[in-house]
Structure 1
Amino acid sequence: MIGMLFVIVLILLFLPTLSDKETETSFDSEAHEEVRYSNLSSKNKPSYETSITLNAIGDILVHQPVYEDAKTEDGYNFKPMFEPVKSLISDADITIANQETILGGAELGLSTYPSFNSPYEVADALQYVGVDIVSMANNHTLDRGEQAIMNATDYLRKIDMRYVGSYRNEEDRNTPRILTKKDISVGFLSYTYGTNGIPVPEGKDYLVNYIDQEKIVTDIENLQDKTDFVVVSMHFGTQYEPLPNDEQIYLADLLTNNGADVIIGHHPHVLQPVDWVSSENSHDRFVMYSLGNFLSNQDGLDRNIRAISQIKLTKKRTHNETSYQISDAQMIPTYNYSENNRNFKIVPLSDADQYGLKNADQIYQETIKHLQSFTDKIDFPTNFGAVQ
């Protein structure tokens, strides 16, 4: 018996031991946290608050002069066009852009209006400045057919950039688009009013999401179960109209009342006002009816004034209750500069006088006033502030 005890003592003495650090890293941190919380009563769970910023930019509309300006000896380089606003875009935790022209690549033959096809390198530039996900449901999605969509999604997957609104197959469409930063999960959806009369190939509805009220509400409900916030991109409205039409306002109310936290509008190609929508027994929701063009070669001052939008998303847990808040809406108006269809650059509107825009300060003040048509609960900084 004494001999047996001696053996056991020896085994215990020579068993490998783990330091506190080694023990901690042997577990998934989130799983470890949940185990720790599960041993506490709901009344004793610690308070917890975390926030992220979400940026949104408008239409990436790559006309022929734009991609010709980006031409290099061995491809295309759009990065210099975004350089003046790179720090403003990459400031956020998550950024979404509207990729209006399909990225079918040069191998398919580049093309401009009315049937667009753009170089893959557009996506490289967006990633370079901090874009995390692109919306692809718009009236030009089917411009160059199914192959262009396959090419675009192939390339986006290759560079690990998320896309939403146009898909490769049913499995792809049924895979939720969720990005998580700082313990806040954000789900993305995207829809368009139409595709310029081009029909979807039979049996391939997954190629583009059309606006269908019942489907969108169902999609929002399904995504709510998996996320903290839901962002919906809507390709709607009337082109070149400075104010949202009745349908835009109706759909914004419908979707926010059914769980959409943020709505990002595209298609009018000009800036439209933003607004807050109050919901009963819940936080206010934020609507951007149209962010306008971000990069394009359209004529007219109104089509060359656009904005970078930023909002703060907060999740707060107090004991056994979790609450959500959208706050700190900010916008930085920008200007699409070019000289004789060359040297395209996106610059802050506040600096546009340095790029030859006459009365830039007056235009800046008018733009702010226009964006505040529905609410003054929005700020216009020269730089976005970091969330603590």
Structure 2
Amino acid sequence: MTGMILFIAGCGRSPDHQSPIDDATILTVTFAGDLGLGLAVQSYPWIEKNGYHAAFANVRPVIKDTDFFIPNLESPITDPETPSIFPKRRPRQPPEVATALQDEGVTIVGLANNHQMDFGKPGLDSTLKYLHAAGIKTFGAGENLAQATEPLILEKNGYKVAVVAGCRPRKWQLLATDELAGVAPLERKPWSKAIKKAKKKADFVVALPHWGECNKSKISDEEKKYAQITVDAGADLVIGHHPHIPQTMEIIRGVPVLYSIGNFIFHGIRQIELEKGPRNLRFDYSWVTKVEWTRRGLKSITIIPFFNNNLKTDFTPRPAEPKNARWLYERLLPEGYWEQTGNRAVIRFL
């Protein structure tokens, strides 16, 4: 995997920057949701026995079968002595996680989420140190607003895709400002500016908003508002996360908007607590989305579903059964836009 990568909060296509690439050439980028290893105390014995690599047993093919793979790293990577800025316990990931990600072929992670600053600037500095030492590129957070929103460009064969990431304000998180380190804010002005900046540097822009409400299947009014803002700014594709479950997809003025693809590998406390009570089927599942382009534009989106109920999968996501995957597709995808092959749904645009 070579070339540059452009990540910022928002995405779109720039007709003025078409690259000379044959129609038959396909660029693929695969996006995954929240990634957090060993976050919940319930996962500690399993991690101690099996190690971090075991959690990747069933997802390795989706990491390797693409030009670029991009998950959202939901929690910071810090040393045990790094203090949280909050009175209650906040999950962290140890430095060994960066090495595990490197070993598994993860070369890029997004950081624009509501937990990345749980340990303040020292936690962010630690996260960046360990990830960069492992050769993993980052976007969506930085020393200041300019760094946090700086587009990172993915390039292959002279063709460029820009990816942008931003997080909605939360009372417990630290957003980047002109003077302060933090995550890229999902606010109208900086978000739109980041998207427009990306469009000037790439053929396509993909927006990764961290938004919505945790464990809520209903799309919030705020999500709808910012989906429109994102499209208005010029994004070509919107793929969200934060709710921890897959939500609906809709088309806004020709732009696909997947409001949430759920978790990737996520050993979270809340997810385990929810598993103790009555559950809706979608809480047990998540989507990985493989996106393909040709020179003429977006070719297809393939949804790859995983069953990730931690107590039933032993903290190791596994491919969803086709019948359960279809149950989700029929409720969350636009009618007439998709076809199912095995457990996957393919949405074609060309």
TM-score by length of 2: 0.78
Segments of 5+ residues of structure 2 without an aligned counterpart are: 1-18
The question of whether the paired residues in 1 share the 8 Å contact of 2:32 and 2:287 is answered with: yes
Q: Which whole-Å CA distance do the structure 1 matches of 2:59 and 2:331 have between them?
A: 22
Hey, what does 2:48 align to over in structure 1? 71
Q: Deviations over 1:270-301 (max 9, x none)?
A: 110223333xxxxx432221111222341335
The question of whether the paired residues in 2 share the 8 Å contact of 1:162 and 1:177 is answered with: no
Task: Check if 1:80 corresponds to 2:40.
Answer: no
1:159 Cα deviation from its structure 2 partner: 1.5
1:213 Cα deviation from its structure 2 partner: 0.7
The question of whether the paired residues in 2 share the 8 Å contact of 1:331 and 1:378 is answered with: no
Task: Give RMSD over aligned pairs.
Answer: 3.1
Report the identity percentage.
25
Hey, what does 2:5 align to over in structure 1? none
2:77 aligned to 91, 98, 103, which one?
Answer: 103
Q: Which whole-Å CA distance do the structure 2 matches of 1:293 and 1:221 have between them?
A: 28
Hey, what does 1:56 align to over in structure 2? 31
Hey, what does 2:332 align to over in structure 1? 371
1:303 Cα deviation from its structure 2 partner: 3.1
Which residue identity lines up with residue 208 of structure 1 in the other structure? V
Q: Deviations over 1:110-135 (max 9, x none)?
A: 99x85221123333344444433212
Larger RCO of the pair (alpha carbons < 8 Å, separation 6+): 2
1:333 aligned to 297, 305, 308, which one?
Answer: 305
Which residue identity lines up with residue 268 of structure 1 in the other structure? P
Q: 1:199 to 1:82 in 2, by over 3 A?
A: closer
Q: Deviations over 1:53-83 (max 9, x none)?
A: 12111112432333542236xxx93221111
Q: 1:124 to 1:243 in 2, by over 3 A?
A: farther
Hey, what does 2:315 align to over in structure 1? 344
Q: Deviations over 1:157-201 (max 9, x none)?
A: 111211111113567446431121232212222111124434559
Hey, what does 1:287 align to over in structure 2? 257
Per mean C-alpha deviation after superposition, the further-off stretch among 153-162 and 296-305 is 296-305
Hey, what does 1:140 align to over in structure 2? 115
- Indicate the structure (1 or 2) with the bigger Cα radius of gyration: 1
Which residue identity lines up with residue 286 of structure 1 in the other structure? P
Q: 1:98 to 1:199 in 2, by over 3 A?
A: closer
Q: 1:275 to 1:327 in 2, by over 3 A?
A: farther
Q: 1:382 to 1:114 in 2, by over 3 A?
A: farther
1:59 alignment partner, SS class: strand
- After the TM superposition, which residues 168-183 of structure 1 pair with which residues of structure 2 at under 5 Å, given as runs? 168-169=143-144, 172-173=147-148, 175-183=150-158
1:150 Cα deviation from its structure 2 partner: 0.2
Task: Check if 1:209 corresponds to 2:184.
Answer: yes
Which residue identity lines up with residue 169 of structure 2 in the other structure? G
Hey, what does 2:15 align to over in structure 1? none
Task: Check if 1:313 corresponds to 2:279.
Answer: no
Per mean C-alpha deviation after superposition, the further-off stretch among 89-98 and 301-310 is 301-310
Hey, what does 2:8 align to over in structure 1? none
The question of whether the paired residues in 2 share the 8 Å contact of 1:270 and 1:292 is answered with: yes
Q: 1:46 to 1:268 in 2, by over 3 A?
A: closer
TM-score by length of 1: 0.71
1:365 Cα deviation from its structure 2 partner: 2.7
Q: Which whole-Å CA distance do the structure 1 matches of 2:156 and 2:21 have between them?
A: 19
The question of whether the paired residues in 2 share the 8 Å contact of 1:82 and 1:125 is answered with: no
- After the TM superposition, which residues 121-140 of structure 1 pair with which residues of structure 2 at under 5 Å, given as runs? 121-140=96-115
**Number of paired residues?**
313
2:122 alignment partner, SS class: helix
